[in-house]
Structure 1
Amino acid sequence: MKIKGNKLYQRVAASITAAIEAGRWSPGTRLPGERDLAEEYGVSRPTIREAMIALEMKGWIEARHGSGLYVTLRDHGTGQREDALNFDVGAFDLTEARILFEGEAVALAAVSITDEQLDEIDALLVEMAAEDSNEPSVMDADHRFHLAIANATGNAAIRSVIEYLWELRTRSPLAANMFARAKRGGITPRVEEHRPIVAALRARDPHAARTAMRRHLRGVVDDLLEATELEVMERARSELDARRDSVARRLKIGSV
């Protein structure tokens, strides 16, 4: 089924809530798996993942027992469904835009970057790799690393666009939620993925720079997919551990 509307994940989420309200999936019912939903709606797995997280944030669905996502018992109402699901840009769409813009920006930077700008980017790489760096400082250095490359293009409009894309990481509730899930899953900027970018800039090789940046940002997409999937699994594991503890306590009482 192909769907029409504004943001793709919002259209999928709205369609699923409409199906829930129409009785296709009643409270307590398990939703189909990601692959099945992706095939049904004619979208990618990342889009389905964003839609599922949006629905979970609003309480339409919940992860349960490691067996998938289930419709909740909550009375959601019908009047403001689309507004309730409008979380703006998701992390996958945002990163896709970064692949496009930052991939071309780094290629332009490779032919216009100065030695002083290269030294600044090198210093940021060292800052990211420092053993005593904590997570906030690494994230800040990563942010400044990418903006320094945008600045090296010599094009103020390009820098503004890339800066805006970075701002969306925190301004968009859905993107912020997804990156927070990745952070809880232990996902942090990988310094080794940044080194080929710097090497290509030093070589003044736009093609290698574009390839390295795109490879790095595709790795961000993979990390997001893994982190959001692992979070569901971790919930299930915690729930299973709690059940085991409960059973162990009961058996201990019975053996006294």
Structure 2
Amino acid sequence: MSTSTTRTAPPHGGPRVRPELPLARVVTLEVHDLSVDPGPDGSRLHGLDLELRAGTLTVATPAAPARTLARVLVGDLPGRDGDLVTGQGRTRRPLAKTSWTALAARTPPTTGRPTVEVLDQGGLAAIRLGVHLGLGPLLDLPLAVLDAADRTLVGLALALAAAPDLVVLDLPAAGLDPEGRRRVLETLRDLVDVEGRTVLVVAAADHLDPDVVVLLDDVVRLDPCAAERPG
């Protein structure tokens, strides 16, 4: 049985103004007939077709099959069959043979160094992103005393400061409260609207609160058969 998708467009107050991007920076991700062997949680994808439009913020749900897709995109899990393509027109090419970057934000190693010094590894852009994510009052504290959620935000700021064209994030793994999730999505919304990035976020269905949904361009629900388990 193939994996099917349902795409919905969240309501917006009006059309968003998007930047005009050079052709080389316009990233559309196309997934064709992707099949993935079972991962550690037993879930797999079978025959998935999906397109992420360039310069959009898309949430994929439910978490189990969406997380499997995210792990394929960031190279943590190999796809058995199928085709992943990025770019448009003359820039179209297989994902594995492109300069497009797919990132999963990872928590940086615990250290006694001040948080601002850890962020400074990503330059001023990472520090600004950290402040935007609510880390301003914590910058002078050692990273080791921050809780897991705040350390995840530090990792996110470092990842986004690298200015990737394609961003893949596993939001539930961040362990954030609703306000923290909203701050992350607002930051990603700015990344899409101001810089034209293409973003895919994994989320559980119960995390799609109305005040979060309005920040999205698309919600893609993978059919439950996407989470097949070996017999």
Structure with higher RCO (Cα < 8 A, 6+ apart) = 2
Q: Is the TM-score greater than 0.5?
A: no
TM, length-normalised to structure 1:
0.27
| Structure that is richer in helix per residue | 1
TM, length-normalised to structure 2:
0.29
| Structure that is richer in strand per residue | 2
Answer with 1 or 2: which has the greater Rg. 1
